[in-house]
Chains A and B, each alone.
Chain A
């Protein structure tokens, strides 16, 4: 069988881990015993996120994104991060604007005026995978295989600027696209409920929460609410990730702010507008100083920059609860 490689190997930089290396990490470094893992965001990010890491997260700055963890990464001034930006919105501009991220695997590059200019200026490298391509890479990482085939990406320029490969499918004889597995260093998941061991529940849709937790070397869960383990045993259909995938649990009410947490609080569109309006480094610097550097942590951010009145209002606006309970 001829293997027809259209792309030449090594032309485009990509993150890849041999599945056996990942398995050995799981064997040796991931604990199986249900020990309490409740820590502060500061401790979780200090312990589990290193300079140069590849980070992936579920959902976006507008809906159930891990915004308190992203802000903590910025506060700790992590460097040279590579972001898996599936459906990313304001996370990419903030991480690039703060000098934390230098590479982005793009599904959706980001929202607002700032990030496109950063790419044009060459301040951040972008690789095009598409949302479906990145989701499949994470699924491959989660299935312990080196790649998965797909019938999209074919025929497009995305093929030339990612490390996707076209070969001849041994079964049909047609061209088929392969995407390499992705095993990020860290996954962030913001969830509705978690217990102290890391069992976690998302109510509503997700992008690839379980896949990302399975595929990543380290997993930080931030949760609106900490509940008893018994809650999971009563309704196991609703468990999104089991505790042994998770390295740290952070209690973070309003952790998705300024985005919406379905059934808990609504999106703060006025705050989002401020993010969208950022056009240059000065505005970005001001935003980051005011909302991230000048407050010690997420609680102080909520107290001083959001306020109890605003939070009450956003909670009141979250009128859609059907399906989320």
Chain B
């Protein structure tokens, strides 16, 4: 029997992000949302994924619920395989051991360049100032495939980022290698609260791959300040499953600090 389910845009974004992670791989996890995505993935789909955190926790099996705001706390480092520090953590990505990186962003451009530093104005006199790179630059520079998790809002999908904090494909094909970044690395997927994007092999531009079931391509594209390429066969993404929602709401974030957001519905 079809029924209507309710969820938030954030819950959808987290759930579809979790489905992208491959078992048996390594993933360098950024602050906040990426942590929750990795927790959900590990809980439901990929028990043998090894998470790495920039403060030097390797392969933790984090204690739930997620403690909001923390990354280096004891819950998040529980039952790690190894405890080190930051210079060593980045050594694992710098030598090619990290299959995936997962990062949030303030803004992203058609080449997957990430801004997490400031919005508007200039660097010296910004309109709004944010935390900056943290370890995001190192993750985006060195992991083989970077996944960006970002709310689907027009002001976040911009033709040119206000500040290039963490490198995507810079200004096009070959630009990363020319700049001195490691060969064969770069953004792989952009997970949003409405859709999933990849990057075109030839042009390295962001390409719409699939949309949340029930949404049209136009509904997705109108909420972006640039027009992405469209994959020849745009797929549909199922809404969050009962299991995904249960684990998110009951085990990972019962206080709904992370998962709250705009209400959405879908027929399942």
Task: State the A residues within 8 Å of B (CB).
Answer: 59-60, 62-64, 86-87, 106-111, 115-117, 119-120, 122, 126, 128, 130-133, 135-136, 139, 150-158, 160-161, 166, 169, 174-177, 204-211, 260, 262-263, 266-267, 269, 272, 276, 318, 320, 322-324
The residue that A262 contacts in the complex, of B74, B117, B142, with Cβ under 8 A, is: B74
CB distance from B263 to the nearest CB of A (A): 25
The residue that B73 contacts in the complex, of A63, A136, A153, with Cβ under 8 A, is: A63
What would 28 A/B residue contacts be, using CB atoms closer than 8 Å? Answer: A87-B54, A109-B132, A116-B129, A122-B125, A130-B132, A130-B134, A130-B138, A131-B137, A132-B135, A135-B87, A136-B87, A139-B87, A152-B137, A152-B181, A154-B181, A155-B175, A166-B180, A175-B179, A204-B77, A207-B55, A207-B56, A207-B85, A208-B85, A208-B87, A211-B87, A262-B74, A263-B74, A320-B75
- Provide the bound-state CA to CA distance between A136 and B86, in Å: 9
The residue that B70 contacts in the complex, of A107, A109, A207, A267, with Cβ under 8 A, is: A267
Set of chain A residues within 8 Å of B87, measured between Cβ atoms: 135-136, 139, 208, 211
Q: Is B193 an interface residue (CB 8 A)?
A: no
A-facing mask of B69-90, CB < 8 A → 1, else 0?
1111111011110011111001
- Provide the bound-state CA to CA distance between A132 and B178, in Å: 21
**CB pair A177 B180 closer than 8 Å:** yes
Q: Is B212 an interface residue (CB 8 A)?
A: no
CB distance from A80 to the nearest CB of B (A): 19
Task: Given the known inter-chain contacts A155-B176, A320-B74, please indicate yes or no for A135 contacting B90, CB distance below 8 A.
Answer: yes
Interface set, chain B 114-144, CB cutoff 8 A to A: 117, 121, 123, 125-138, 141-142
The residue that B180 contacts in the complex, of A87, A151, A206, A269, with Cβ under 8 A, is: A151
CB distance from A174 to the nearest CB of B (A): 5
Q: Is B209 an interface residue (CB 8 A)?
A: no
Task: Given the known inter-chain contacts A117-B129, A157-B123, A157-B164, please indicate yes or no for A260 contacting B74, CB distance below 8 A.
Answer: yes
- Provide the bound-state CA to CA distance between A170 and B238, in Å: 51
**CB pair B86 A135 closer than 8 Å:** yes
Task: Given the known inter-chain contacts A131-B135, A267-B67, A322-B79, please indicate yes or no for A155 contacting B74, CB distance below 8 A.
Answer: no
CB distance from A167 to the nearest CB of B (A): 10
Task: Given the known inter-chain contacts A120-B129, A135-B90, A207-B86, please indicate yes or no for A154 contacting B141, CB distance below 8 A.
Answer: yes
- Provide the bound-state CA to CA distance between A29 and B236, in Å: 67
- Provide the bound-state CA to CA distance between A95 and B121, in Å: 25
Set of chain A residues within 8 Å of B78, measured between Cβ atoms: 320, 322-323
- Provide the bound-state CA to CA distance between A269 and B180, in Å: 42
Q: Is B182 an interface residue (CB 8 A)?
A: yes
Set of chain A residues within 8 Å of B70, measured between Cβ atoms: 62-63, 260, 267
Q: Is B97 an interface residue (CB 8 A)?
A: no
- Provide the bound-state CA to CA distance between A130 and B221, in Å: 32
The residue that A87 contacts in the complex, of B94, B134, B137, B179, with Cβ under 8 A, is: B134
**CB pair A209 B133 closer than 8 Å:** no
- Provide the bound-state CA to CA distance between A176 and B182, in Å: 11
> Which A-chain residue is minimally distant from B126 (CB atoms)?
A120
Task: Given the known inter-chain contacts A108-B134, A128-B117, A156-B165, please indicate yes or no for A205 contacting B180, CB distance below 8 A.
Answer: no
